[in-house]
Structure 1
Amino acid sequence: MKNRDFPWWLAFLALLAAAIIVSVAISAESRVIFSAVAQGLGVTITVSLIAYGTSVLLGLVLGLLRASPFKPFRELATFYIEVVRGLPMLVILYYIAFVGAPALAAFLNWFVKPFINLGWLAPVEVRSFNFTVRAVLALTLGYAAFIAEIFRAGIESVPRGQVEAAHALGLSHGQTLRKVVLPQAIRNVLPALANEFVAIVKDSSLVSALGVQDITQLGKVYSASTFKFFETYNVVAFFYLVITISLSLAVRSLEQRLKRRAHP
């Protein structure tokens, strides 16, 4: 490796991480902060994984509708994508948590009202919807719009000639999509999809606005009670940097591997 190609930024980051780890190891106070914040690590990872998985599935459906030859489907998908992409993620989070959840509870109560009147079912209460579930739903609906555009671009990147050749061989539209278009489209957009996972991990910190006990929320609570803002948020930033930079390096490795396969 040439000296100019050496990732100095990564070396500096590793030194910074080592300094934080050493300070945690030698300081009892830092160990307490580290332990307090680390309890939210599982929530952060769980929220990110579930929201990412569901947003990829919904984004794929929206991407297929966006690239559909049937105009009503295209218009419906485009409407959703443009509206959601135009809203800040925090607004979507609040909307789902404080508008969507009560509306859903009211709809369910209206739908099963005869059974409620007979005493067979109890009315659905808004508090039945856990804030963690609301946060995951909001991230899913928000990121699905961005991922849909990634899938649409991937679908459109497949040469039109291959689609026409598949039709000439007697494949239906569904078979062409499933056997010719989607395998190539997904391979083309894998790095972009991986980058969206990095983004969703960072935006998962927004769930702290609903009181979900993730890394950010626990850091906020601890720093507010001890007034040790500098030390606490250093640890919070450390956790997020370890996760996101590890993922970013994995994405770069994936991109290089795909390039080597494309140009052996």
Structure 2
Amino acid sequence: MNLDFSQIVPSMPYILKGLQVTLQVVALAALLGFALGTLLALCKIARVRALGWFADFYTSIFRGTPLVLQLMIIYYGLPQITGYDIAPYLAAILAFGLNSGAYMSEIIRAGIQAVDRGQTEAAMALGVPYSKMMRHIILPQAMKNILPALMNEFITLTKESAVVTVIGAQDLMRRAYIVGGEKFSYFEPLLFVGLVYYVLVIILTLVGKVIEGRLKTSD
């Protein structure tokens, strides 16, 4: 193997500039996914059957089709229908956020249903409105139970963000491809990017453990 990492050292700052794009896409998509997932989870446990059917249908669509297909439909397909082009950055946030929302909805739903039913009955007996009950009593307890699963979804989202390279967004993976083409050597830049993703996952794992530990001590 004729590996020569010295040839990509001058290009490492260029590759690392893609880290900002990657982190921004992941952070905004995670926020969108969490908000959407919470809304879908509430629909799934609502007494109105139509809301539950809608949430289940949404989840089945986004869990049953490939993420890269969803990304390409949003980036290439929507402009054909609407007549307006979508920037790769925005398309990535929408695709990852909508996809993540489907997975998070199941996690959040399970967390809500895992809360002791007595909490809900006590709040209803005291006349606490449903919205306040969910916001101040049920959801905070559910979040503690599902934090590991949410962190795992966030980590998965971080790794899957590399798919955005197929629509030309200047993320870590795309910049590694460009450097590989310029140097006529792809293995070294791809290994370097792999190391960057690995470090990101390790950091996120440690952050998740710290938050989980603080939540346990606060009980």
- Is this a same-fold pair by TM over 0.5? yes
Using the TM superposition, give the Cα deviation of residue 191 of structure 1 relative to its aligned residue in structure 2, in angstroms: 2.3
1:26-78 Cα offsets, whole Å, 9 max, x none, are: x4x23223123112111111111111111111111111111112111111101
Using the TM superposition, give the Cα deviation of residue 253 of structure 1 relative to its aligned residue in structure 2, in angstroms: 2.8
Q: Contact conserved, 1:33 with 1:235, CA < 8 A, in 2?
A: no
Identity of aligned residues (%): 33
Match of 2:29 among 33, 47, 51: 51
1:124-177 Cα offsets, whole Å, 9 max, x none, are: x433x2121111111111111001111101110111111111111122323322
State whether structure 2 residue 204 is matched by structure 1 residue 247. yes
Using the TM superposition, give the Cα deviation of residue 102 of structure 1 relative to its aligned residue in structure 2, in angstroms: 2.7
State whether structure 2 residue 167 is matched by structure 1 residue 189. no
> What 5-or-longer segments of structure 2 have no aligned partner?
none
> What 5-or-longer segments of structure 1 have no aligned partner?
1-22, 106-124
State whether structure 2 residue 39 is matched by structure 1 residue 61. yes
Match of 2:73 among 86, 95, 112: 95
Using the TM superposition, give the Cα deviation of residue 221 of structure 1 relative to its aligned residue in structure 2, in angstroms: 1.4
Using the TM superposition, give the Cα deviation of residue 202 of structure 1 relative to its aligned residue in structure 2, in angstroms: 0.7
Match of 1:143 among 100, 104, 118: 100
- What code does the residue aligned with 2:24 have? T
State whether structure 2 residue 57 is matched by structure 1 residue 79. yes
- What code does the residue aligned with 1:126 have? Y
Using the alignment, how far apart are the partners of 2:132 and 2:29 within structure 1?
29
Using the alignment, how far apart are the partners of 1:170 and 1:126 within structure 2?
49
User: What's the counterpart of residue 135 of structure 2?
Assistant: 178
Using the alignment, how far apart are the partners of 1:86 and 1:249 within structure 2?
31
- What code does the residue aligned with 1:96 have? I
Q: Count the aligned residue pairs.
A: 216
Using the TM superposition, give the Cα deviation of residue 261 of structure 1 relative to its aligned residue in structure 2, in angstroms: 4.3
Q: Contact conserved, 1:191 with 1:254, CA < 8 A, in 2?
A: no
C-alpha RMSD over aligned residues: 1.8
Matches within 5 A, 1:28-47: 29-47=7-25
TM-score (norm 1): 0.76
TM-score (norm 2): 0.91
Matches within 5 A, 1:154-165: 154-165=111-122
Q: Contact conserved, 1:37 with 1:235, CA < 8 A, in 2?
A: no
Assess, with a 3 A threshold, how the Cα gap between structure 1 residues 180 and 230 changes in structure 2: closer, same or farther.
same
User: What's the counterpart of residue 126 of structure 1?
Assistant: 84
- What code does the residue aligned with 1:186 have? M
Match of 2:109 among 152, 155, 162: 152
